[in-house]
Amino acid sequence: RRSIVFVLGGPGVGKGTQCQLLTKQFSPKIQAFSAGELLRQAAASNTAEGTHIREQLSEGNILPGEITVGLLKSAISKSSAEIVLIDGFPRAIEQGVMFEKEVKPCEFTLYLDAPRDLLNERLIQREKDQRALNISRSDDNETCRAKRFKVHFQRCVPVAQYFAAQERLITVPASGSTHQVNDT
């Protein structure tokens, strides 16, 4: 019996970092999939779908649920982990409903919570760090950052409220260091 856990929070809150830490601590029992990373991999493909995904990501848009759910379903089907963490998904209530109907209901949702000004500082620092290493993400720029915050508060916060209403939300304070959050 496999358990699904959605991991949500604002841009720069550390969803990916916390999922990586949990996977390292409890592998092979836990495996994490990043919806964003799966989308970025698909965007890198030289296909019509890849081009569409690439354009949507570079504008900071949420992609249609069918695309993300399809990528996640395929990745999860290849996993033997007992617990699957899904980082950064669902980004809209409809995506969550679609996933739970087509794949499996989630056990609960972890919501990593930190103030917007702190998240913005983290994103700016990540951009600087990545530039120094000659790494870039198409969604790490000032325009995209503002849009990601807007989308988060308009679409993603209601997702957390949706799971809270079903008593399937655990809120984790995420203002501290990586290890302080992980210890929570």
- Please write the tens of the pLDDT for every residue from 120-137: 999 888 888 877 787 765
Number of domains making up the chain: 1
Quote the domain boundaries for residue 152.
3-183
The whole-number pLDDT of residue 112 equals 97
Provide the percentage of residues in the chain whose pLDDT is more than 90. Answer: 64
Supply the CATH number for residue 56's domain.
3.40.50.300
Residue 89's Cβ-count burial label (10 Å; 0-12, 13-18, 19+) is: buried
Which of the four pLDDT bands, split at 50, 70 and 90, describes residue 100? very high
**pLDDT tens, residue by residue, 7-39:** 999 999 999 999 999 999 998 999 999 998 999
DSSP states of 94-158: HHHHHHHHHT---SEEEEEE--HHHHHHHHHHHHHHHHHTT---TT-SHHHHHHHHHHIIIIIHH
